[in-house]
Amino acid sequence: MYKAVAVVFTLFFAFSVAFNERWGYINVNQAENANLFYWLFESQTNPSTDPLVLWLTGGPGCSSELAIFFENGPFQIDASTLQPIPNPYGWNKNANLLYVDQPAGTGFSYANSYYIKNETMVAQEMYTFLQGFLNRYPQYRNLPFYITGESFAGHYIPATAAHILVQNENPKNAKINLKAIAIGDGLVDPIATAESWGPYAYDNGLISSSDLGQVNQALAVCKQDIQQKNYGQAFYDCNNVFGTVLNYAGNINYYDIRKQCTIPPLCYNISAITAYLNLPAVLKQLGIPNGIQWTACTNGVYGPFATGDFETSFRFDIPRILTQARVLVYNGNEDLIVDYYGQTAMLNTMKWPGQNGFLAAKNETWHVMGQGAGTSRAYQGLTYLVVNNAGHMVPHDQPKNALDLLTRFLKDQPFN
């Protein structure tokens, strides 16, 4: 399904936009009638040569339209008019930016049932989607390709990237030109994340030392479950670790500890985005089938992952990816739910040929327009970046710096 952008202007926008958009559905599983919705914003600079960047929102089951209008897309929604307004820091400044609602059932995507339950299925169907998308739009086939995303995309991205690299080895398959991945505040390794919640909360004054003792007791049960590969039980016991932290911390915004959580569970007011995406004119223009209403996150998608996938680690895919592509892991320093303590521990203990070099690498101060924006460490294709004054959604909290992050990532420039 393809719609010309000129039609979109007359319906959606009261201002001029100098780039094309493409949207529609691609079927990834005929038996389940699974159709993934995509929305692409071409580069504002040179779409014929600028890279193709895929963004995946996490959840599992949260729509990538959240990122379009709340984080790094070219538009935001004016709550008073329910009209798009320009985002000066949209990530399509120098990239063709592709958002996908996945797994099936997320956002505008749909299927007969909520059947996706693990990353093997996610990776297979994302690969099917990408091949279908690149066949539909062959002008993007040979462009450098990058995968980005955040949160539960810490599962999606490594699994999908590793699968692409395996499939690229088969000469019968059309190659996907994967150059690098960027994981933002991503749940990659559940044990490292769970181990970090207590110390991070304590060091930031959210809980007391006696509270930390209670958190550690809950942690021991969570770790035992994972070590015994009792992943279904681990989902509940590891959530209990986080719940214990929150019980003592109070009504904290676990995505940004500088704030209170006023509208759980997402802690942010996205009512304008929801209202806009469910306008009859918008649904019609986007070609959304009758009966489908947009929701930010879908519990039906989330549920099947709890039985095994959620507490599985995907840190072991990263060394495989590093043999052929670069990896950027970045984290906002004010995020609790996937805090930078855990990401640091995961990367420091990750076994790969460059481990000693990465541990010995110097920490650099990342500057944006002369101002310190964060701290980086890099070695042989692996870069770790802690972003100052940002929570879980770095592009929302630090839009200017996040655009600089993307630019350096695409150009393979150092963060200093």
Question: Residue 140: which residues within 8 A CB-CB, separation 6 or more?
Answer: 52, 96, 133, 134
Question: Residue 215: which residues within 8 A CB-CB, separation 6 or more?
Answer: 197, 198, 201, 207, 241, 244, 245, 248
Q: Is the dihedral of CA 383, 384, 390, 394 positive or negative?
A: positive
Just list the catalytic residues: 151, 335, 392
| Structure tokens, 177 | 């030109």
Report yes or no: 90 and 325 within 8 Å, Cβ to Cβ.
no
Report yes or no: 351 and 319 within 8 Å, Cβ to Cβ.
yes
Report CA Rg, the chain: 21
Q: Is 401 helix (H, G, I), strand (E, B) or coil?
A: helix
Report yes or no: 295 and 274 within 8 Å, Cβ to Cβ.
yes
**Using CB atoms within 10 A of its CB, is residue 63 exposed (0-12), middle (13-18) or buried (19+)?**
buried
Distance CA 354, CA 378 (A): 10
Sheet order of strands, 21-29 included: 21-29, 34-41, 96-101, 52-56, 145-150, 178-184, 326-332, 382-387, 371-379, 364-368
